[in-house]
Chain A
Amino acid sequence: MTFLIALTLFVLAIFLGVELISKVPPTLHTPLMSGSNAISGITLIGALVAAGADHSLLTTILGFGAVVLATINVVGGFLVTHRMLGMFGSNRKRQS
């Protein structure tokens, strides 16, 4: 991928992100934050590549650490968001 294509993706995705999130109600601020936080754990992909490339001992160690940390970020983030949203959900059902 050339730098210009990468830059294009980057800028377009920022605009997209702004469009998607701009009218979020306060109730969802916390779940949105923990959910998007989990998505930022996508760096896990890079961690897998770095740890699996078998380049040198140092890069494998760095990659391994990144895999563990990013997985905590991803798994923990999605789970805790699900738990939180479950509270909103059960609340709404009880009223209706």
Chain B
Amino acid sequence: MTSLIQLGYLASAILFILGLKALARPRTAVRGNLLGSAGMLLAVVVTLADQNILTYTYLAVGLALGAIIGTILAVRVQMTGMPQLVALFNGFGGLASLLVGAASYLELIDRPEAIGNDTAAAAGFTLLIGAVTFTGSLVAFGKLQEIFNGDSFQDQGIRVFAVVSLVLAVGLAVAVVLSPSPLWMWALIAIALLAGIALVAPIGGADTPVVIALLNSFSGLAAATTGFVLGNSVLIIAGSMVGASGLILTQIMCKAMNRTLFNVMFSSAAVAGGGGDSDDIYTGKVTSSSADEVALILDTAQSVAIIPGYGMAVAQAQHAVRDLTRALEERGADVVFAIHPVAGRMPGHMNVLLAEAEVPYEQLKEMEHVNPQFDQTDVSIIIGANDVVNPSARQDPTSPIAGMPILDADKSRTVVVIKRSLSHGFAGIPNPLFAADNTLMLFGDGKAAVEDINRALAEI
């Protein structure tokens, strides 16, 4: 029986490997997701067949309850809300690992002959990583959902607290191994929960995609360490593969912002106070425009680049933008979408939103491909993006976003910025592009503004 169960887990691990591989390629991604879910189903069935399980009632109720809640969340979420949902799921995964770690540890210390140092150490790590993943993800969720503003925690004290509590938590993890007792365990959990909050709270809004990717990696690691505690191969294999894939995405995001992970986690962006005062930059220099004027310019444009940001998603403007694209193409213009790697609030967020609006995949251009073309672009239309087109990143070494690769929209002949106001982006700094001579500001709701342009274009 036992070896049959082990073989079942092996089959499930193979399904996860094939699933992840397929998930990373556009043609096979759907199949990859299905393979992954098949692997999960198999693992659950195999576990339920295990003789060690004595009570099935709680399990059935728990599985049903979780499945109902998960389905409701997955079916009801808007694509704009994807980052929040992934953060929330991450947090649930982390907390689940934490609870498993706690239950296993409590069981182990009742049988002193069974607890080895390695198992106890694995339990300690599970508690630590699970707790940090849980509260860290909840804080990220709160920022994304705009329950609270991330930049209000830019205090150096909280970073010091984060480091101190992490060190303390590692110390408690050692205590959990050397003198096993429930007291050390609860202390470790409490401190690690606080450390998760303190680690994520001060991270600036512009860095959220990095944090989401990193927490994704952590939730995988927590599952892997749970596997060490239980001596379960499929947990170790699946968990560490997710950990690795999350780390790769973290690395891609860091590269896109020209920052190191350490820098994202521990350096305070706003403390430098760079970026200049908004009044100095904007007063008397901002040119406000109208939909009719923008339509006239677009009517003669040969090449147009559209730069979408999270604001486009909030305004639900992606369908109006697609109509604008088609109208311009009918006039013979060449239209591309320039996508910054960290546009939106999680890796690849813009691509999902534009796919929802049925924008052809070929029209979406990555930053490296589109940047050399901006000086031959007649009009760049920026919809709800801010920090990713802020030329301060190139020009002002004191700016908090200095050195971050940006889309060089400012180099195109005319720049049209559709935005509700001159308010700051996620990085919390003014954008000199809005005051540039070749920039026209079209103030208003993204969707309404683009629809006005479409109407004006049709009348020309």
Contacts and interface: CB of A to CB of B under 8 A. Distances in A.
A18 B248 contact: yes
A37 B219 contact: yes
A76 B355 contact: no
Contacts of A86: 30
Nearest to A56: B106
- Chain A facing B: main interface SS: helix
A47 to B, nearest CB: 5
A54 to B, nearest CB: 4
Contacts of A17: 20, 240-245, 248
A84 B104 CA distance: 36
A58 B347 CA distance: 39
A71 B62 contact: yes
Contacts of B371: none
A47 B100 contact: yes
B222 A54 contact: no
Contacts of A11: 240
A51 B58 contact: yes
Interface string A48-85: 11111111101110111111111111111111111111
B118 A3 contact: yes
B47 A26 contact: no
Interface residues of A, number: 85
Contacts of B21: 20
A91 B355 contact: yes
A27 B89 contact: no
B240 to A, nearest CB: 4
Given A14-B244, A23-B24, A50 B100 contact: yes
A54 B118 CA distance: 24
A39 to B, nearest CB: 5
Contacts of A79: 70-71, 74-75
B300 to A, nearest CB: 28
A31 B33 contact: yes
Interface in B15-57: 16-17, 19-21, 23-26, 29-30, 32-34, 36-37, 39-40, 43-44, 47-48, 50, 52-56
Q: Helix, strand, loop or mixed for chain B's interface?
A: helix
Nearest to A5: B233
Contacts of A39: 16, 19-20, 36, 39-40, 220, 238, 241-242
B24 A24 contact: yes
B184 to A, nearest CB: 16
B442 interface: no
B348 A16 contact: no
B86 interface: yes
Contacts of B29: 28, 31, 85, 88
A20 B70 contact: no
Interface string B222-259: 11101111111111111111111111110010000000
Contacts of B347: 26, 29-30, 33
B23 A67 contact: no
B97 interface: yes
B96 A82 contact: no
A26 B339 contact: yes
A60 B99 CA distance: 10
Given A13-B244, A43-B222, 5 more contacts: A1-B232, A14-B241, A26-B341, A52-B52, A53-B52
Interface of B: 16-17, 19-21, 23-26, 29-30, 32-34, 36-37, 39-40, 43-44, 47-48, 50, 52-56, 58-59, 61-63, 65-67, 69-71, 73-75, 77, 79, 82, 85-86, 89-90, 92-93, 95-97, 99-100, 102-104, 106-107, 110, 116, 118, 212-213, 216, 219-220, 222-224, 226-249, 252, 339, 341, 346-349, 351-352, 355-356, 358-361, 364, 366
